[in-house]
Amino acid sequence: MSMTMSQKILAAHAKVDAVQPGQLVMADLDLVLGNDITAPVAIKEFAKFGTDQVFDKKKIALVPDHFTPNKDIKAAQQCKMMREFAHEKEIENYFEIGAMGIEHALLPEQGLVDAGDLIIGADSHTCTYGALGAFSTGVGSTDMAAAMATGKAWFKVPAALRFNLSGKLPAWVSGKDLILHIIGMIGVDGALYKSMEFTGEGVSSLTMDDRFTICNMAIEAGAKNGIFGVDEIALEYLAAHCARKPVIFSADEDAEYEKTYEIDLSTIRPTVSFPHLPDNTRTIDEVGEIRIDQVVIGSCTNGRISDLRVAAQILKGKKVDPRVRTIIFPATQNIYLQAMDEGLLKIFVQAGAVVSTPTCGPCLGGHMGILAEGERAVATTNRNFVGRMGHVGSEVYLASPAVAAASALTGYITNPETIKEN
């Protein structure tokens, strides 16, 4: 039976020769992830399983990143529960202040993700790791609890959509613009419970950071997961970060896809998602005059070093509009240090921006960047639902780091192509 990449990974971990869409399988897991919102619920459920030990101390990762540094007493209690559980169960991969990072940038960086892995996380953007040829997907806290106890999870095998990429992205256009374009094209339910598989000669022109961003937002099209094949670019990243030997799965030539989309990367324009759904997209040429109050550059979607470099390239030697609060979040401590070494943080501060420790804070309206009623933000985050970053009367416009940085300078959503470099 012919299979896609995702189906082959599920079959291998379920220890069966083949699977087909709609089939239910119990599969062994390589990694189980939780954060400071979801893990405390899972920890309470874990206590009901009647076991004192997790299934594997090396295959669980706990990352308090949403409300950390603790924003209030409740957040402190949540993190305390995680910390005590991690120490009690001797969980090796616990990352807090000092070693912290935004989970979906941190785990690949720490070498916890490998090609061919099967990963679940109690966070919807766990699909990020498909960039490295892993099957990774978000689950609920109860599933996380069961997985910590057993090392297994149930899966319904997804059907697949293929996105065949050709050409190369133009200047100032990135993986964020591409995934926003795709979500705008197919809708927020266009890939509902399907695997989004990215193929074609155009893939080789995408950086790892582009691929992480694209897979991160697969869930915004309703997908079960997003996944790229493992090429030399992915292997180079894995060699630098992961000590394990990758297990590479490739789709069969006659693998069945429900639909194939042909996308010429050279035609993609800087793209903005208007409130209040990620599929409400317009190209930068169609935006019009939108006054903004805040810019956020960072998150698990766009807080990597290439994102910061693009923002710095635009902001260098300039000043942000004094009416625009500009907040920049490197996604991990290592990225923070790299940005410091490259002088990027100095550029941001001199431009009038503020640089924060790694945190998910503003993305979900948690802290460090909350919007008031009537305010608008351009954010490199992944969701722009009603009230996502604060007041229900506020608005979030999703964009790339280039668009966000350009907009910070002018106070309006701005085409980065119009900003003259120093």
Check residue 133 and give its pLDDT.
Answer: 97
Q: Are residues 28 and 92 in the same domain?
A: yes
Which structural domain range is residue 385 located in?
271-418
Residues 166-178 have pLDDT tens digits of: 999 999 999 999 9
Q: Which two tokens stand for residue 231?
A: 């090429």
Confidence of residue 1 (pLDDT cuts 50, 70, 90): confident
Length of the chain: 422
Q: Are residues 276 and 376 in the same domain?
A: yes
Residue 338 CB neighbour total at 10 angstroms: 16
Contacts of 112 (CB under 8 A, 6+ apart): 31, 61, 93, 242
Burial class (CB in 10 A: 0-12, 13-18, 19+), 145: buried
- Across the range 240-249, mean pLDDT stands at 93
Angle at CA 266, nearest 5°, toward 260 and 270?
100
What SS3 class is residue 154? strand
Q: Are residues 275 and 257 in the same domain?
A: no
Q: Are residues 36 and 185 in the same domain?
A: yes
Check residue 421 and give its pLDDT.
Answer: 63
What CATH number did the domain enclosing 160 receive?
3.30.499.10
Angle at CA 306, nearest 5°, toward 301 and 307?
45
Confidence of residue 219 (pLDDT cuts 50, 70, 90): very high
Q: Is the pLDDT of residue 420 over 80?
A: no
Confidence of residue 65 (pLDDT cuts 50, 70, 90): confident
* Cα separation, 106 vs 126, whole angstroms: 12
Which amino acid does the sequence have at 376? R
Check residue 70 and give its pLDDT.
Answer: 86
Q: Are residues 30 and 177 in the same domain?
A: yes
Q: Are residues 220 and 283 in the same domain?
A: no
Q: Is the pLDDT of residue 91 over 80?
A: yes
> Would you list the DSSP string of 317-385?
T----TTSEEEE--SBHHHHHHHHHTTHHHHHHHHT-EE--S--GGGGT-SSSPBPTT-EEEESSS---
Q: Are residues 50 and 165 in the same domain?
A: yes
Residue 231 CB neighbour total at 10 angstroms: 14
Edge-to-edge order in the sheet of strand 259-264 = 225-228, 194-199, 159-166, 259-264
* Cα separation, 412 vs 422, whole angstroms: 20
Q: Is the pLDDT of residue 422 over 90?
A: no
Q: What is the largest CA-CA distance in the chain?
A: 63
Of 239, 264, 289, the domain-final residue: 264
Q: Is the pLDDT of residue 238 over 70?
A: yes
Q: Is the pLDDT of residue 320 over 60?
A: yes
Identify the bridge partners of residue 291 per DSSP, sorted by sequence position: 412
Cβ atoms of 331 and 128 within 8 Å: the answer is: no
Q: Are residues 313 and 382 in the same domain?
A: yes
Cβ atoms of 218 and 126 within 8 Å: the answer is: no
Q: Are residues 260 and 288 in the same domain?
A: no
Say how many Å lie between the first and final Cα of the chain, rounded.
57
Residues 323-376 have pLDDT tens digits of: 999 999 999 999 999 999 999 999 999 999 999 999 888 878 888 899 999 999
Check residue 361 and give its pLDDT.
Answer: 82
Count structural domains, the chain. 2
Measured between alpha carbons, how far is residue 209 from residues 159, 307, 393 in Å?
26, 8, 33
* Cα separation, 215 vs 132, whole angstroms: 10
Q: Are residues 260 and 279 in the same domain?
A: no
Residues 131-174 have pLDDT tens digits of: 999 999 999 999 999 999 999 999 999 999 999 999 999 999 99
Confidence of residue 32 (pLDDT cuts 50, 70, 90): very high
* Cα separation, 3 vs 156, whole angstroms: 15
* Cα separation, 394 vs 386, whole angstroms: 8
Cβ atoms of 206 and 303 within 8 Å: the answer is: no
- Average pLDDT across the chain, whole number: 95
* Cα separation, 267 vs 276, whole angstroms: 25
- Across the range 217-237, mean pLDDT stands at 96
Percent of the chain with pLDDT over 70: 99
Check residue 68 and give its pLDDT.
Answer: 82
* Cα separation, 368 vs 376, whole angstroms: 15
Q: Which two tokens stand for residue 90?
A: 């001797």
Q: Is the pLDDT of residue 190 over 90?
A: yes
Of 216, 234, 264, the domain-final residue: 264
Contacts of 341 (CB under 8 A, 6+ apart): none
Q: Are residues 108 and 242 in the same domain?
A: yes
Of 264, 292, 310, the domain-final residue: 264
Which amino acid does the sequence have at 406? A
Check residue 307 and give its pLDDT.
Answer: 97
* Cα separation, 365 vs 378, whole angstroms: 14
Q: Are residues 309 and 259 in the same domain?
A: no
